[in-house]
Structures are given as structure tokens and as C-alpha cells.
């Protein structure tokens, strides 16, 4: 646990936090100005590998990192400004029936609700 990793981890804390590497860097630099981007990426990737944070791959644009791993949830993304909102798993959780599985073994289901956020609509 180096100061760098602590600074990165400290930024990724809380609910409804979805930060890009860039933003993680600038925020963590408030604590540790000499922090480098390489170290941010190294740390983020380790945190993802350890299961401490989630990686949210946005279509184009940078990946976002989400520290909320304890409560399973989906995302609501604004197609205009890119802002993200956590949403609870809906009551009607989608399932595939046998003939739609095409022989796959399902390991996860991810729902992305697209829409316009209050500011953009």
C-alpha cells in the first residue's frame, strides 16, 4: 500500500461514483501532486483484477470506474452528456430460455438504460 495507491483508492469511494482515469488522476493529485497517469492506470487495473472496483466500458470515450461492487446494480446513461446513474436490479430480471442460450453458459447480465438526464432533456 503505497501513498499513490491509497490516493487512487481514496478517490474511488462512495455510491454513484463513475470516474474516468483522467478525473481520478486530477482528484488524486490534490492529495499527491506528483502522481502519474501510468500509476493511476496500474492501480485501477489492479483494483479491477482484485474485484475492488468495476470497469464500465463506454462506447467511445474513456472507461469509467465504479467502486460500488457490493450492491449489484445496472446503469442509466445519458446519451447526451454521458452522465451515469446507478439503478437497482429491476424486479423483472431478464432470463434467457434454453433455446436462446445457443449453448452458452451465462455468467452475468448487464443492462444499460439509455436516456436523457434531467439537465439534458
Partner DNA sequence: TTTACTGCAAACCGTTTGCAGTTCC
Partner DNA sequence: GGAACTGCAAACGGTTTGCAGTAAA
Among 14, 38, 70, 88, contact with DNA (rule: CB under 7 A): 38
CB 68 within 8 A of CB 23: no
For the chain, the first-to-last Cα distance in angstroms comes to: 43
Residue 61 CB, shortest distance to a second copy, in Å, is 10
**Which residues, 62 to 121, sit near a second copy by CB under 8 A?**
63, 76, 78-79, 85, 87-88, 90, 92-96, 100-118, 121
**Which residues, 43 to 82, sit near DNA by CB under 7 A?**
43, 45, 60-63
Q: How many residues bind a second copy (CB under 8 A)?
A: 38
User: Which residue intervals of 36-85 are DSSP H helices?
Assistant: 37-50
For 13, 47, 92, the CA distances from 107, given in Å and listed in that order, are 26, 21, 18
Distance between CA atoms of 117 and 121, rounded to whole angstroms? 6
Q: Which partner from the list a second copy, DNA, none does 21 bind, CB cut-off 5 to 8 Å by kind?
A: DNA
Q: Which residues bind DNA (CB under 7 A)?
A: 2, 4-5, 20-22, 32, 34-39, 41-43, 45, 60-63
Amino acid at each position: 500500500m503505497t501513498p499513490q495507491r491509497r490516493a487512487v483508492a481514496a478517490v474511488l469511494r462512495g455510491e454513484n461514483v463513475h470516474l474516468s482515469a483522467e478525473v481520478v488522476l486530477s482528484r488524486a493529485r490534490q492529495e499527491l501532486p506528483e502522481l502519474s497517469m501510468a500509476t493511476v492506470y496500474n492501480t485501477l487495473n489492479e483494483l479491477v483484477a482484485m474485484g475492488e472496483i468495476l470497469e464500465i466500458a463506454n462506447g467511445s470515450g474513456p472507461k469509467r470506474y465504479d467502486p460500488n461492487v457490493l450492491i449489484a446494480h445496472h446503469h442509466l446513461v445519458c446519451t447526451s452528456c454521458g452522465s451515469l446513474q446507478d439503478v437497482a436490479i429491476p424486479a423483472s430480471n431478464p432470463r434467457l430460455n434454453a433455446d436462446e442460450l445457443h449453448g452458452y453458459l451465462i455468467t452475468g447480465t448487464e443492462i444499460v438504460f439509455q436516456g436523457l438526464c434531467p439537465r439534458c432533456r
